[in-house]
A and B are shown apart, each in its own frame.
Chain A
Amino acid sequence: EPEVTQTPSHQVTQMGQEVILRCVPISNHLYFYWYRQILGQKVEFLVSFYNNEISEKSEIFDDQFSVERPDGSNFTLKIRSTKLEDSAMYFCASSLGTPFFEQFFGPGTRLTVL
């Protein structure tokens, strides 16, 4: 069964460093998303991506965040200068048709900022 994969499973970084989180969405899906979940809190929408551009973003997705689909398979989230409060689980998701409907989530990357 096709699935969304994410790497690494756990990333530890120093405050102020740049990190890139990687995702491989399901191959025939058209819409891609990033979410984050701070420990003990809600899953929060960050950004959606379609046709090689951002289609929607939340207030959380400020200038320190960027997304890219560098090739036909990978989808990345870059955090330029990490802060302590960026520590969270980051989930990538993808969907085939209507945006946000029937999303398939990856296993997540746990980001720890020290």
Chain B
Amino acid sequence: EDQVTQSPEALRLQEGESSSLNCSYTVSGLRGLFWYRQDPGKGPEFLFTLYSAGEEKEKERLKATLTKKESFLHITAPKPEDSATYLCAAITGNQFYFGTGTSLTVIP
């Protein structure tokens, strides 16, 4: 069964404390792995697309990486405004699966 799992469910960091969020996927024929940010009461906001193992993408304090089984979202020196839920999603064939997300809180 195709599945996308994220860990941890919740993460609290001090401002400036770097960390990584994990997204494990078991899907057949992965066509793309996506990272989204979701603020409370809002729709997901697109961050990155990764297509193949070994690929990396960066945007400000965020860097996404992809292996054959998982993806990581690395957050370097986070700020309070990085607090949000981070979702990963995978597409296989023409089905799209979201993970349950990691709720990140960055404390000043």
Binding site for B on A (CB under 8 A): 4, 41-45, 48, 55-56, 58, 91, 93, 99-108
Contact = CB atoms under 8 A, between A and B. Distances in A.
B32 A107 contact: no
B104 interface: no
Contacts of B83: none
Interface string B6-32: 000000000000000000000000001
Contacts of A58: 95
A11 to B, nearest CB: 15
Contacts of B91: 100-101
A55 B98 CA distance: 19
A104 B41 CA distance: 15
Given A4-B43, A102-B46, A105-B43, A43 B87 contact: yes
B95 to A, nearest CB: 7
Interface string B85-108: 001010100111111110000000
A105 B32 CA distance: 18
Q: Chain A interface secondary structure, helix, strand, loop or mixed?
A: loop
B98 A43 contact: yes
Interface in B53-108: 87, 89, 91, 94-101
B46 A103 contact: yes
Contact of B97 (A45, A101, A106): A45
B94 A105 contact: no
Contacts of B87: 43
Contacts of B41: 107-108
A102 B94 contact: no
A44 to B, nearest CB: 7
